[in-house]
Structures are given as C-alpha cells and as structure tokens.
Amino acid sequence: MSLPSESSYARDLAQVERANADGRVPVVFVHGLWLLPTSWERWAGVFDAAGFVPVMPGWPDDPETVEEANAHPEVFAGKSVGQVADHFCDLVRKLDRTPVVVGHSFGGLITQIIAGRGLSRASVAIDPAPFRGVLPLPLSSLRAASAVLGNPANYHRAVPLTYEQFRYSFANAVSEAEARELYETFAVPAPGEPLFQAAAANVNPWTEVKVDTVNPDRGPLLILSGEKDNTVPWAIAHASYKKQVRNGSAVTEILEIPGRGHALTIDSGWREVADTALAFLNRHVDPTAGDAA
C-alpha cells in the first residue's frame, strides 16, 4: 500500500485550511473510479453560491489534471477502499466544522463510510458502489465491472477504460457526441483493487468494504440513483437504502433521477442532480452553523 504523494496531500491540506479560515460549513466532494476531483468543479460553484465552502480532495496520489493522469497511469495503482476511506476521514477530522459529504460511485461508498463513522453532518451518496450486505448483482453491473474483473492481474494495476467501456458504464444515457466529449474531458485510469474488494465483500468477513449503517451519529442520508445506470442500477442503490433505513436515529431517503446514467454528475444534466442534492442538504443543514466538529 503506497503513501500519498506529498504534492497531492499538500493540495488537500490547503483546501482544508481554506475551509477552516472561511467559517462556513464545508461540503466535501468524493469522486469515484475513473474520475478526478476536478469533475466536481461545477458542483463546487453551485454549493459555494448556496453558502457552503467546497472541499474537493483527491484519492491518494491523484494528479491535478486529466492529461497528467493519462500520461502517468501508474500513480493510481495499489489504492484500496480502506486506504481511501482513511485518507478522507483524516482530512475530515482536520476540518473545524463537521462537513456535509457528497460522493459518486465508489465516492458514494466512501461517503457512507465517513457517515457511518459519525464524521458528517449530512450526506448524499450518488449511484453508490455496494458494501458488505448489499446482495444484488445485476448483469449490467457485472458487464461494467468486467473491464477490471476480467483479468485477475488488474488487482494491482491501474486500469483505463476504452471509449466503448466508458460509453456502456458511464455514458449510455447521453448522445454519442456527448459521450465522446465526456470521455475526452473526464476519463482517467483507476485502481483495480477496489472493484475486486467490492466483488468479494459478501464472502470476506474482514473486508474493508463495509459501512456502519446503524451509528446514531450517522446524520441524514440521501441516496440518488440514475434510472438508466448500468454500473450501479436501482437494485443496488435500493438494497443500500434498505440497509441504511434501519438506522432509527437519522433520516434516510432515496430518489431515482429519471433518464440518467452513471455519468449523471458530469453530463449535461449535472445541474439537476446538484440541485436535488442541495435541496436535501438545505432541509437538514444551516451552512452558516458555527458548531465545531
């Protein structure tokens, strides 16, 4: 397991320091596989205007740009779910105010891990990757994951998606022209290990892919599901919801976004999803609240 590079960790710490100096409630954005923190830039502007201070950390060793990421794919290799979750929890604990957390795909899984550790004020998990206890295995999910799981050697590798794989896994609900633009603008390699961990979570009692769904300090949680998502279809999102709704101490909601695929946070309809997440958070959080974490 590699340690995060000094440059990437310094960028993350600088964001934490800016958030602490700002004084508003932070919103921490957590990206998933095959994307970078920059995929949240438009969301950050919306949440900033709504009164939150955005923080967009990377996974350990994330490059700054898509161009750099594609030129040096090796930096993504060897990242586990536990390592990434601990990285984000470490940064969250450095915030002076308990944040809200918004995550997509494997970032949605990390979001729920953070919430399950009692570190978030409220959370939105968008098309979240499954955790131990989430049992459905739709064929579309298996096909999407086969880009990595089809070769056991990918466990220790960084794996890029071909355009055709990206089209199926992310951009199936947009036009061909938009799908190609999204691929060229956002797609980067990703570590294979988290997908192998998720695939084995229900047969590995010691898995890192687990969420404390009953922590009374979890905070309100919204799960968003894209109606046409091939990678994390409704069956998985709803099974995650059914585990989370057992938490009797916190609000748990689920909502399906019509006509949207896995690229719903970055495609041309991203603003609808951002506004949906923001409306939920505004019902439960005052972004100017001054209580410390």
Q: Provide the CATH number for the domain around residue 257.
A: 3.40.50.1820
Start-end of H helices in the chain = 6-22, 41-49, 66-71, 81-93, 106-116, 139-149, 163-169, 176-186, 193-200, 234-244, 270-284
Say if 64 falls within a structural domain.
yes
Say if 1 falls within a structural domain.
no
Say if 292 falls within a structural domain.
no
pLDDT of residue 79: 97
For 263-283, what is each residue's pLDDT tens digit? 999 999 999 999 999 999 999
Quote the tokens at residue 50: 């709504």
For 73-104, what is each residue's pLDDT tens digit? 999 999 999 999 999 999 999 999 999 999 99
pLDDT band at 3 (very low <50, low <70, confident <90, very high): very low
Domain holding 167, by residue range, is: 6-284
pLDDT of residue 291: 63
- How many percent of the chain have pLDDT more than 70? 97
247: left (phi over 0), alpha (psi -120 to 50) or beta: beta
Q: What is the DSSP string of 166-223?
A: HHHHT-TTS-HHHHHHHHHHH---EESHHHHHHHHGGG-TT-S-------TT---EEE
Say if 101 falls within a structural domain.
yes
CA pair distance 8, 76, nearest whole angstrom: 12
pTM, 2 dp: 0.96
Say if 67 falls within a structural domain.
yes
pLDDT of residue 5: 67
Tell how strand 158-159 and strand 190-191 pair up.
antiparallel
* pLDDT of 55 above 50: yes
CA pair distance 20, 290, nearest whole angstrom: 11
Backbone angles phi, psi at 108, to 5 degrees: -70, -35
pLDDT of residue 288: 83
pLDDT band at 4 (very low <50, low <70, confident <90, very high): low
For 231-269, what is each residue's pLDDT tens digit? 999 999 999 999 999 999 999 999 999 999 999 999 999
Say if 277 falls within a structural domain.
yes
Is the distance from CB of 268 to CB of 174 less than 8 angstroms? yes
Residue listed under structure tokens 């355009």? 163
* CB-based contacts of 260, cutoff 8 Å, min separation 6: 173, 226, 227, 228, 229, 267, 269, 273
Say if 210 falls within a structural domain.
yes
CA pair distance 225, 238, nearest whole angstrom: 8
Is the distance from CB of 48 to CB of 274 less than 8 angstroms? no
For 113-159, what is each residue's pLDDT tens digit? 999 999 999 999 999 999 999 999 999 999 999 999 999 999 999 99
Say if 290 falls within a structural domain.
no
Is the distance from CB of 131 to CB of 109 less than 8 angstroms? yes
Output DSSP code: residue 76. G
pLDDT of residue 279: 98
Number of domains into which the chain is organized: 1
